[in-house]
Homo-oligomer: A and B are copies of this chain.
Amino acid sequence: MSTETPGSLSTLDIRVYYEDTDAAGVVFYANYLKFFERGRTEWLRRLGVNQSELAAQHQRMFVVKRAQTHYMKPARFDDLLTIHSRITRLGRASIEFAQIATAQGETLCESTVEIVCVDTNSFRPAGLPPFLRTLLQKVQN
């Protein structure tokens, strides 16, 4: 990990399909939250974190607690978006991400998303497993 910059872990390209658009001809606002969730999932995967294993072996999963989303410009059918994701805060049982969706260098949408690590059975907040905390701290710095 030491030689990789966080930036190298942080982007995901997403094509806009018909399913993502609405009758106004643009991407429906809720769908950016799908794109950002895909971005976080791939961000974790590239760190070597498999969420299925995290649930099976550590009884931990992530749920979204807050999402503050700002819509700046519309995306349209066939646009190629890039989702940029980075950690902005790391708590005992929480992770805050700053995520943006860009197209051709312009920012279309940005969101600050607070994720909470919960126990898979109780859905109550539970500390990040030590291996994951160590991993995230390296990336954050």
Interface residues of A (CB under 8 A from B): 15, 17-19, 21-26, 28-31, 33-34, 37-38, 41-42, 50-52, 61, 63-71, 74, 76-78, 123
Contacts of A17 in B (CB 8 A): 34, 37-38, 41
Contacts of A68 in B (CB 8 A): 66-69
Judged by DSSP, the binding face of A is: mixed
Contacts of A64 in B (CB 8 A): 29, 71
In the complex the two chains form, is A51's CB within 8 Å of B30's CB? no
Known interface pairs A71-B64, A71-B65; A30-B19 also in contact (CB < 8 Å): yes
CA distance A30 to B35 in the complex (A): 10
CA distance A30 to B36 in the complex (A): 10
Q: Which 10 residue pairs across A and B have the least CB separation, nearest first?
A: A30-B33, A21-B23, A29-B64, A18-B22, A19-B34, A68-B68, A23-B77, A30-B30, A23-B25, A67-B69
CA distance A38 to B30 in the complex (A): 12
